[in-house]
Chains A and B, each alone.
Chain A
Amino acid sequence: MEGLPYCDNEAQYPTPDVRWGLAATRGARHWIHIDCDGLCTVIDLLTGAKIWFLYSPDPRYHAGIFGDIDQFLHDFDVTNPSKYWAVEAVYLQPGTQL
């Protein structure tokens, strides 16, 4: 972002506060979540690998399913994706940016 027209090098942009390093041992996982504040996420792999599951509305159901906040209430199970979602996975390795 820094150096681009909307965020020049003199901008007081808190880059260190929005960029994170993450280290995890083999087998570590995140449960289902929406990345912080709905902001765009960029991830660079430096070593090891990570498989990333992306959930989106299943076209067999209505596309606005993610606009229904009720699906995240009532003891939402972060280990069990909704049947109304479609999922795709991508395997990330060093040299890959998502």
Chain B
Amino acid sequence: MNGRPKYLSDPDNSAIKVLEYREYEKLSVPQVQAILRSQHIVINNFPQEQVVPTRGPIAFDEAGLRHLRNLESPIKFQGKSPCLFSSRLEGITTFQTNQSLSVTTTPCRSAQELWITYSQARETREELSSTLYRSDYLSGRSIKQRLAATWRLGPSWKDFHTVITKRSIPHLM
């Protein structure tokens, strides 16, 4: 509205209420709940140490990922990308034959294993277009052939869309 987001130009009618942390921490639980009846709360300058046990900057790297969980503990991964399963080809059992891959869960020794796999693959990767992916299915190319070819070329970093891990650090919200 007038070049400004609604939560600034018309805050009373916006679905978003923006608060500074120093304002938020003064609110009682009933006051917070009263806001949440009609609005989502965005808190600026929320102390990072209340989320993870560090005040320093966090980068998108292995050290940063460690803030989410123990990278050495076993974990299951879900996803549509064949690259997620490249290190465990034998684990692939439930792909469908249509144009889209089914969501499959496969065990992985650890989140660290997956991270290392992708860090190495990124150095040698070549882009595979989604058109090629689709054509593989239309031509009836087998999953193993496709995966083998994909792995030789190096998986596309774009294929590593999302990794969801359970956070293992209990703390206050």
Contacts and interface: CB of A to CB of B under 8 A. Distances in A.
User: Are both chains from one complex?
Assistant: yes
Contact of A25 (B52, B157, B167): B157
Given A95-B44, A97-B43, A98-B41, A24 B173 contact: no
A97 B23 CA distance: 13
A88 B14 contact: yes
Nearest to B18: A90
A3 B124 CA distance: 48
Contact of A21 (B16, B42, B165, B171): B165
B125 interface: no
Interface string B54-67: 00011110001101
Contact of A16 (B51, B57, B64, B170): B170
Chain B contact-residue range equals 35 or more
Interface string A11-55: 000011101111111011000000000001010101110000010
A3 to B, nearest CB: 6
B6 interface: yes
A97 B46 contact: yes
B5 A89 contact: yes
B46 A21 contact: no
A71 to B, nearest CB: 18
Contacts of B6: 88
Contacts of A23: 60, 65, 68, 162-165
B158 interface: yes
A54 B161 contact: no
Interface in B126-173: 157-158, 160-168, 170-173
A41 to B, nearest CB: 9
Contact of B46 (A20, A27, A59, A95): A95
Contact of B166 (A17, A90, A92): A17
B36 interface: yes
B42 A94 contact: no
**Which 9 A-B pairs have CB atoms at the shortest separation, nearest pair first?**
A21-B68, A97-B46, A21-B167, A44-B51, A97-B43, A24-B162, A46-B58, A47-B58, A19-B167
Given A25-B157, A54-B15, 4 more contacts: A16-B170, A24-B161, A94-B48, A98-B41
